[in-house]
Every structure is written in C-alpha cells, then in structure tokens.
Amino acid sequence: MIHLRRESRVQHQLGLTPLLFSVDAADLRLLSEEGRERRYAVGDVIVHEGDEGSAFFIVLDGTASVSVDGATVGTLAPGDVFGEVALLRGVPRSATVVATSDLDCLLLTKWDLAAFLAGHEPVAETLRARTLYYAA
C-alpha cells in the first residue's frame, strides 16, 4: 500500500473536487497546507442549521446527509463542498450536516476562504452563484 504524505493526499483529493477544476497544482498544494483536516465519526453533527458559520468544508472522504427543518434534502460525498452560504452571505447556517459514514473534510476559515477566492475568480463566481441558488 502506498502512503502519501498528508499534503499530497489532500492535494490529490482537492484536485478531484469539481469546484476546484480550474485551480492549478501549486495552488491546490497551498490550499491543502492552509486548510485544516478534520475527521468526523458516523452520527457526528458537523454544522447545525441556524448556527453562525465560521468554516467552509470540502469533503475529502466519506458521506454526510444534509437536512433543512429536519427533512433530508441531500447527501454529500467526496468532492462536495458546504458552508459557503453562511460565510459569503453572513447569514446563519441554512442546513444541518450529519456524517453518515466516517468523514474527512478540509476546513477553511472565513479568512482563508476569502484570501483563496481573491486569487481564483472562477471558483469565487461559482460559489457566489451557489449562495444565490441556496438563499432563494
């Protein structure tokens, strides 16, 4: 079994994230270094609907369910992102996310995300469009 260094493994997984397809390898490496990897167990609540948002999440491995007002509205898998609505619009979390398997995420603080988006306009445009869609 080949073991990749944490940064290489995270960088590889970020490269498979549709949102980040326009980001070059060097910037993916920087993103993997700036972010903080966090592991969650089955049943852990990652974010609560209505709470203040302080991080943006990129799913690296595992799955999670998304619910609004107690009703499941979607699932998350590797390559999916969440948390952008609260950060970019300055509003409370719009959904609750619960791990449905062991889950690895890369977390970016509001400041890290803002700095990254300043240099990656295609990613910023996509996230802004998503915030408009989910806020509607």
115 conformational bin, left if phi > 0, alpha if psi -120 to 50, beta if neither: alpha
The pLDDT assigned to 133 comes to 58
Architecture label for domain 6-135: Sandwich (2.60)
CA angle, residues 40, 122, 56, in degrees to nearest 5:
20
The pLDDT assigned to 25 comes to 87
Domain residue limits, the chain: 6-135
Q: Which helix (H) or strand (E) holds 72?
A: strand 71-76
Backbone angles phi, psi at 46, to 5 degrees: -85, -50
The pLDDT tens digits along the chain (136 residues) read 344 565 678 888 888 888 888 888 888 888 888 899 999 999 999 999 999 998 999 999 999 999 999 999 999 999 999 998 888 888 999 999 999 999 999 999 988 988 888 888 888 888 888 776 554 4
Q: What is the pTM of this model?
A: 0.86
Q: Which helix (H) or strand (E) holds 66?
A: strand 64-68
